[in-house]
Structure 1
Amino acid sequence: MIKVLVVDDSAFMRKMLSDMLSSHPDITVVDKARNGRDGLEKIEQHKPDVVTLDVEMPVMTGIEALEEIMKTTRTPAIMVSSVTKEGAETTMRAMELGAFDFIAKPSGAISLDIDKVKDDLIEKVLHASKVSRKKLTPAPKRTDEKPKRIERIQRPDFSLEPGPSGKREVLGKTIVAIGTSTGGPKALQRVLTALPENFPFPIIIVQHMPKGFTRSLSERLNSLSAISVKEAEEGDILKKGVAYIAPGGYHLKVRRAGTSVGIHLDQSPLVNGHRPSVDAMFFSLADLHPERVIAVVMTGMGSDGKQGLIRLKQLSKTKAIAESERTSVVFGMPKAAIDTHFVDSVKDLEDISSEILRYC
């Protein structure tokens, strides 16, 4: 039986989360706490397998409690965050500190919303209970952190080049595509901050994340990276040295825009239960027929990206990199990619950026 402690300052939210979790036969809620300090005392008392932490609480916030947890028990923590700019920014900070994952706080008004959050919460608790606590570590700090604004950096357009026949059936350039899920924010930070400012290709990214959180993720990564990072927008023209993160709730696809490559966002049906989906991005990229793709699949639950990788290998010259089991917080997505036998290299997280540069 998986023991869970629910920490939230709202009695209504404590009951709602507890009821959701208790509906699963393998999960039991051992206790509830009303703030971070109360939560730390009850972690000591009950030694739960997983803790849910409200981000904003009186007496001691979820972030302050998480910092103490990471210094002591490293109990896997799932943050429960409101969909506000401040809530999203704080949640991204929690991911850096070593939280396992997060869920958007259910509204309580729409049953469909509650059911979706319930399934997401239960799935994450089940995976969190199995994660090695050695993998729940804070992201490495950068001593040369210099916040910057993407619009101040001039990046050349990523233009199409005609093939040998003078036609444009094939793009004469490389595009990097990264897919990730649980554990992804910290993994993306590790990879993107290691790339040089003059990185010669555009990067498109799908990180499984609900609407309202991807902008904070992209702004945080942009402030830490030498390359530019932004939340993708409809019609964006790909530029060299810029990483585009799919906004929550939208599939990220690519298409021709004259002599350039543009981004198309849509809300077509979920793929593998996700929107954005890695498969949707990979399928779109394969249909574009670029000369070469560097596809990277990192930590995450499920198998999103598996079918898209197969399509990429069939239609384009693709170098595929998967994160190793040793460093993946959850080995689901990388394992599914490796099982296709189309992955060219399996690398620990700290070696993925150098592997991308090697293929460049």
Structure 2
Amino acid sequence: MAITVLIVDDSKFFCKRVGTILNSASDINVIGVAHNGREAIDKAKSLQPDVITLDVEMPIMDGVTALKEIVKVCNAKVLMLSSLTYGNAKITLDALDAGATDFLLKSYESLTSNSEDLIKLLQSKIRELGQAKTFRRAPTYKAPISKAQTQVSPQAVKPLASRNTNASYTAPHKAPKKSYKLLAIGASTGGPVALQKLLMPIPENYPYPITITQHMPGTFTGAFASRMNGLCQLNVVEAEDGMSLKAGTVYVAPGGKQMVFEGTANSARIRIKPTTPRLQYSPSIDITFGSASKIFSGSVLGIILTGMGADGTEGSRLLKSCGARIWSQNEASCVVYGMPMSVTKAGISERELAIDEFAPAILKEIR
């Protein structure tokens, strides 16, 4: 059965062109078009499509406002279409938190030039979302605030272990079961929300650095890091070339580039390298995990979260061959059970966990 699609955009040219591209695939059927958020809500309710492509910026009602109503009347997977600006990146991340499944960069130039790459990308993205799961929940995001603003006088500070937080960690008095130097995480479709759930309970005195390799374009990774920094107890930054890895800091690989490491396990630095056309993903989980295996050897806990495809499998294989541990997200909690399935079927993943189980398991692992 064909995947049914509702296209929502204020540009008639865009709707017509996207409709032509999608309808050229035998397994995709565009069943409706809407030109503003209000019309999108009505058509989503009446047509009940499998997938909705939703523009961020529209008259009468914008995409995010419309999305919040669409998720109440329709169980469709929603693909946000956004231009490559920092402002739109922040709005798109809000949309993912409000119930959108994924996003795609909007390019009138590529549509006009009849780019084969864009045609393949758009059709494959719709197929991917046609197979994805829909998770609806109340938004959890609040505007980022400076961590310095939350500081109080030393006399008022309680030991972290006694604070009323989602989770607390007290440095162990005895050596952990396994010696770690790095927590490395890879994610794709569904990753921004999954990472939020995984990292928010981790306390600020987590004793190792954490790296995130999330498939995301360049402008978006900076906005994503800023958003996560406002949500997490940990310090979250977009990785820059030459940064030293520090305990309790999360480093988000910049989009459009590759993140690798140099130095030693006890004194490692991040190197940001240009990507190459032969690599499907930038950043690539395989590249980052593979580099981690050379610097940190077996002192890594690698985690593969929700996402399409198999990126991370070979990098995880290299890590595991050095003695590292690999965990993966279970099918029930994945938006797309692709990357986790790949490492599991390959016999690389040692544990499959629901997304809400990762933080407690990580903290227990290092005790």
TM-score, normalised with respect to structure 1: 0.88
Structure 1: give runs of 5+ residues left out of the alignment.
154-171
For residue 167 of structure 1, what is the aligned residue in structure 2?
none
For residue 164 of structure 1, what is the aligned residue in structure 2?
none
Q: 2:292 aligns with which of 256, 261, 285?
A: 285
Q: Alignment partner of 1:351: what SS?
A: helix
Q: 2:283 aligns with which of 254, 276, 289?
A: 276
Q: Which moved more, 1:289-298 or 1:187-196?
A: 289-298
Is 2:255 the counterpart of 1:248? yes
TM-score, normalised with respect to structure 2: 0.86
Are the counterparts in 1 of residues 302 and 326 from structure 2 also a CA contact under 8 Å?
yes
Q: 1:221 aligns with which of 228, 234, 237?
A: 228
For residue 118 of structure 1, what is the aligned residue in structure 2?
119
Are the counterparts in 1 of residues 298 and 320 from structure 2 also a CA contact under 8 Å?
no
Q: Alignment partner of 2:14: what SS?
A: helix
Partner Cα separation in structure 2 for residue 117 and residue 194 of structure 1: 38
Cα displacement string for residues 246-301 of structure 1 (whole angstroms, at most 9, x for unaligned residues): 11101111111796211111123256611111000111011114451000000000
Q: 2:327 aligns with which of 321, 336, 351?
A: 321
Q: 1:349 aligns with which of 332, 351, 355?
A: 355
Q: Aligned pairs, how many?
A: 338
Partner Cα separation in structure 2 for residue 36 and residue 29 of structure 1: 18
Name the CA shift for 1:57/1:308 in 2 (closer, same or farther; >3 Å). Answer: same
For residue 40 of structure 1, what is the aligned residue in structure 2?
41
For residue 159 of structure 1, what is the aligned residue in structure 2?
none
Are the counterparts in 1 of residues 36 and 61 from structure 2 also a CA contact under 8 Å?
yes
Q: Superposition pairs for residues 1-360 of structure 1, below 5 Å?
A: 1-108=2-109, 114-133=115-134, 135-140=135-140, 147-148=145-146, 173-256=180-263, 260-269=267-276, 273-315=280-322, 317-360=323-366
- Name segments (4+ residues, structure 1) moved above 4 Å: 109-114, 138-142, 149-153
Cα displacement string for residues 115-144 of structure 1 (whole angstroms, at most 9, x for unaligned residues): 4333332222112222333x24345467xx
For residue 176 of structure 2, what is the aligned residue in structure 1?
none
Are the counterparts in 2 of residues 103 and 117 from structure 1 also a CA contact under 8 Å?
no
Are the counterparts in 2 of residues 210 and 248 from structure 1 also a CA contact under 8 Å?
yes
Amino acid of the structure 2 residue aligned with 1:31:
G
Name the CA shift for 1:141/1:245 in 2 (closer, same or farther; >3 Å). Answer: closer
What percentage of residue pairs aligned between the two structures are identical? Answer: 34
Q: Alignment partner of 2:324: what SS?
A: strand
Name the CA shift for 1:91/1:319 in 2 (closer, same or farther; >3 Å). Answer: same
Aligned-pair RMSD on alpha carbons?
A: 2.4
Partner Cα separation in structure 1 for residue 111 and residue 259 of structure 2: 27
Partner Cα separation in structure 2 for residue 151 and residue 111 of structure 1: 48
For residue 160 of structure 1, what is the aligned residue in structure 2?
none
Are the counterparts in 1 of residues 306 and 335 from structure 2 also a CA contact under 8 Å?
yes
Partner Cα separation in structure 2 for residue 70 and residue 110 of structure 1: 28
